[in-house]
């Protein structure tokens, strides 16, 4: 943070100093016409400098945000979310998780001691949709064992997902909207996309999502379904086909 704070402080000091100088010279401008052209040239140079400095500051802020996000994601490495499990009053979420892991994942060695902490996310409401269960495992190997067996949940109405940070969750949702649910997945907090040409990409920003579409030369599934032109109807020509067979 210190480099960013120093940059901001330096820019503010320079900005106030130069703007004060411009104000003084503007007051003298009517008495000296040559001063007006010089002032305009200096102001243009100053404006370009400020634009470059702000761009540099923006890059530093983005780098800091990515660093913080990466650190937060590492702290969530042992956490998973369990969706679609019926919710009951005064339930023991640890026992609920153990039951699901043993019955659905067929990991019979799993026990409550493997869970470091767990709870339902959000506030309870009168809606019938159950809240997801957040649970953190003591051993990352146990976490991975559950994660890579998630295909066994197919058709059960229960799903498991990684506990992504908000920026990564928003990016993942945007990727699914553009490329389709079956073409996007996460692993160790990273987001992957299967492009229309079959190539696999790891994405970290919305700009990268757009570049994948532009390189592939295709539109998103949503755009393709609404804007795609109708294919021409090709009528058969039996006489021509019969002539070719002969």
Residue 234 lies in a domain: no
Same domain, 209 and 152: no
Q: What is the mean pLDDT of residues 240-245?
A: 40
Same domain, 87 and 107: yes
Asked whether 138 and 115 are in contact (CB, 8 A), the reply is yes
Q: What is the mean pLDDT of residues 151-165?
A: 93
Q: Which residues have C-beta within 8 Å of that of residue 180, sequence separation ≥ 6?
A: 221
Instruction: Report the b/e string of 137-165 with b at 16+ CB within 10 A.
Output: beeeebbbbbbeeeeebeeeebebbbbbb
**Looking at residue 150, what DSSP letter applies?**
G
Residue 237 lies in a domain: no
pLDDT, position 221:
44
Residue of 209, 207, 211 whose CA lies nearest to 191: 209
pLDDT-based confidence at residue 212 (cuts at 50, 70, 90) = confident
pTM above 0.85, yes or no: no
CA 38, 41, 47, 53 torsion-angle sign: negative
Same domain, 127 and 198: no
Residue 236 lies in a domain: no
Question: What is the phi/psi pair of residue 38, to 5°?
Answer: -65, -40
Same domain, 157 and 170: no
Per the structure, how many domains does the chain have?
3
Residue 107 lies in a domain: yes
Same domain, 158 and 186: no
Q: What is the mean pLDDT of residues 53-58?
A: 79
pLDDT tens column, 60-100: 888 888 899 999 999 999 999 999 999 988 899 999 999 99
| Lowest pLDDT segment from 85-89, 207-211, 236-240 | 236-240
Find which of 36-40, 61-65, 177-181, 221-225 is predicted with most confidence, using mean pLDDT.
177-181
Q: Which of 148, 163, 178 is the last residue of a domain?
A: 163
Residue of 95, 90, 105, 106 whose CA lies nearest to 160: 105
Q: Which of 60, 75, 90 is the last residue of a domain?
A: 75
pLDDT, position 1:
54
Residue 232 lies in a domain: no
pLDDT, position 22:
72
Higher pLDDT: 118 or 48? It is 118
Domain that holds residue 199: 164-226
226, pLDDT greater than 80: no
Same domain, 122 and 154: yes
Residue 14 lies in a domain: yes
58, pLDDT greater than 50: yes
């Amino acid at each position: 943070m210190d480099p960013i704070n120093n940059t901001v402080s330096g820019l503010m000091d320079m900005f106030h100093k130069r703007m004060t100088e411009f104000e003084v010279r503007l007051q003298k401008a009517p008495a000296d016409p040559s001063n007006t052209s010089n002032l305009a040239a200096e102001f243009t140079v100053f404006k370009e400098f400020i634009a470059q400095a702000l761009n540099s500051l923006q890059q530093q802020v983005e780098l800091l945000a990515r660093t913080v996000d990466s650190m937060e994601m590492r702290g969530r490495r042992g956490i998973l979310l369990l969706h679609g499990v019926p919710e009951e009053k005064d339930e023991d979420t640890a026992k609920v998780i153990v039951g699901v892991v043993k019955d659905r994942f067929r990991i019979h060695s799993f026990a409550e001691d493997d869970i470091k902490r767990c709870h339902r996310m959000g506030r309870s409401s009168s809606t019938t949709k159950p809240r997801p269960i957040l649970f953190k495992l003591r051993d990352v190997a146990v976490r991975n064992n559950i994660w890579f067996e998630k295909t066994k949940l197919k058709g059960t109405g229960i799903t498991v997902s990684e506990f992504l940070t908000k920026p990564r969750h928003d990016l993942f949702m945007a990727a699914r909207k553009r490329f389709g649910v079956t073409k996007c997945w996460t692993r160790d907090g990273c987001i992957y996309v299967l492009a229309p040409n079959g190539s696999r990409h790891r994405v970290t920003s919305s700009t990268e999502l757009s570049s994948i579409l532009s390189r592939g030369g295709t539109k998103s599934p949503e755009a393709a379904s609404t804007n795609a032109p109708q294919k021409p109807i090709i009528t058969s020509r039996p006489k021509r086909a019969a002539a070719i067979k002969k």
